[in-house]
Structure 1
Amino acid sequence: MFGDDNGKLRSPDAMTSRWDRRMKWLTTKNDSMHRVTIKGLRHTHATLLLELGEHPKVVQERLGHSTITTTMNIYSHVTPTMQRSAVDRFAAHLGKA
């Protein structure tokens, strides 16, 4: 949610349009910069929270999803850090046997 100078909420469409214009300007000025969307930021937010160990239901609520399925199957992504952590935990578990 984004506010204007008067503290009123901006409409999602207005914010997306504004964001897209600024990203287009930035990416034309800098060839190495990749275009980022607001939706992409939501995916990143969800993934990083899960990577940090946040409970999936908390992430679901933060994103405003009605079902955990949307959060887990669409917005979260498995990162190399998550894969490495799973390998390390599994190896530690085997070492205890």
Structure 2
Amino acid sequence: MFPTSIGTTMEPRSLNRHFDGIRTRAGLPSVRLNDFRHTVGMLLLELDTPPHVVQAIARHADLDVTLGIYAHTNLDAMREALDRIDWVMK
């Protein structure tokens, strides 16, 4: 929660506008606050953080939501998984 100058909760759209102004003045590329949240969720899963822990950090009520948003299967991960099966079968 981000407070306003008078201590009330800042509305999400106001927070986004405020962040966008700071980002622009700093000369940074266009990125949304939600992009940071998405990146953290994806990185946590790629670092083998248990999905229920990522769910708690993201404050999702349902694990399926967490996995649906952040669990992107990549080609390297699929190869590694299949290699592990091949190794076990030998």
TM-score (norm 1): 0.67
1:17-96 alignment runs, 5 A limit: 17-26=17-26, 29=27, 34-74=29-69, 76-78=70-72, 80=74, 83-96=75-88
Q: Cα distance, 1:37 vs. partner?
A: 0.8
Q: What CA distance in whole angstroms lies between the structure 1 residues aligned with 2:8 and 2:79? A: 44
Percent identical pairs in the alignment equals: 23
Uncovered stretches (5+) of structure 1, i.e. residues with no partner: none
Higher relative contact order (CA closer than 8 Å, sequence separation 6+): 1
Question: How many positions carry a matched residue from both structures?
Answer: 87
Uncovered stretches (5+) of structure 2, i.e. residues with no partner: none
Q: Cα distance, 1:58 vs. partner?
A: 0.7
TM-score (norm 2): 0.71
1:3-24 deviations in whole A, cap 9, x for unaligned? Answer: 78xxx68625343222111223
